[in-house]
Amino acid sequence: MRILGIDPGVATIGFGVVNAEGTRLRMESYGTITTPAGLPLATRLLQIETDMDQLLRDVKPDEVSIEELFFSKNITTGIGVILCTIEKMQLPVYEYTPMQVKQAVVGYGLAEKRQVMDMTRHLLRLKAVPRPDDAADALALAICHARSATSLLRRADPQVKETV
């Protein structure tokens, strides 16, 4: 299964692609989508939509894993545009909280960011922690979903994935 992990934002959106075959994980690619700070928000959001559309077409993921964000009064991230673009492609999308990602990657929901990054490097058998941090976070989200998607609970009941 090819999983696209997304760390949402407006200025920088991290992405990471992981191929999961059972418990084997292989990093395929990672990087960021960026938008210039001086542009109006609407222009930046349009750029995010265009770049996400192209990324989804290039990567052809089976499923997408994204960080669940909690909004205050003002939604200032591009997560709405990202989710909408994924939905247009009719791809299954799964949201995970930072605590769920830490639990899945490190085994401890209150792990520090450095621990998650080091474990991401280890699990994907990489020589160094991926940079920038947004890309490393996206890979951790993909790992989190891979571990959730291959759980015995999900295999026993395919409907479990819809409640994650």
Q: What Cα–Cα distance (Å) separates residue 114 from each residue in 22, 102, 107, 111?
A: 26, 11, 14, 8
Find the helix or strand (DSSP H, E) in which 30 lies.
Answer: strand 24-34
Q: Which of 7, 51, 63, 137 is catalytic?
A: 7
Q: Is 134 a catalytic residue?
A: yes
Of 96, 99, 25, 106, nearest to 66 (Cα)? 96
Q: What Cα–Cα distance (Å) separates residue 39 from each residue in 61, 76, 128?
A: 30, 14, 33
Q: Is 7 a catalytic residue?
A: yes
Q: Is 67 a catalytic residue?
A: yes
Crossing angle of the two packed helices 41-59 and 79-88, in degrees rounded to 10:
40
Pairing state between β 93-96 and 24-34: unpaired
Q: Which of 51, 67, 95, 137 is catalytic?
A: 67
Q: Which of 51, 63, 95, 134 is catalytic?
A: 134
Catalytic residues: 7, 67, 134
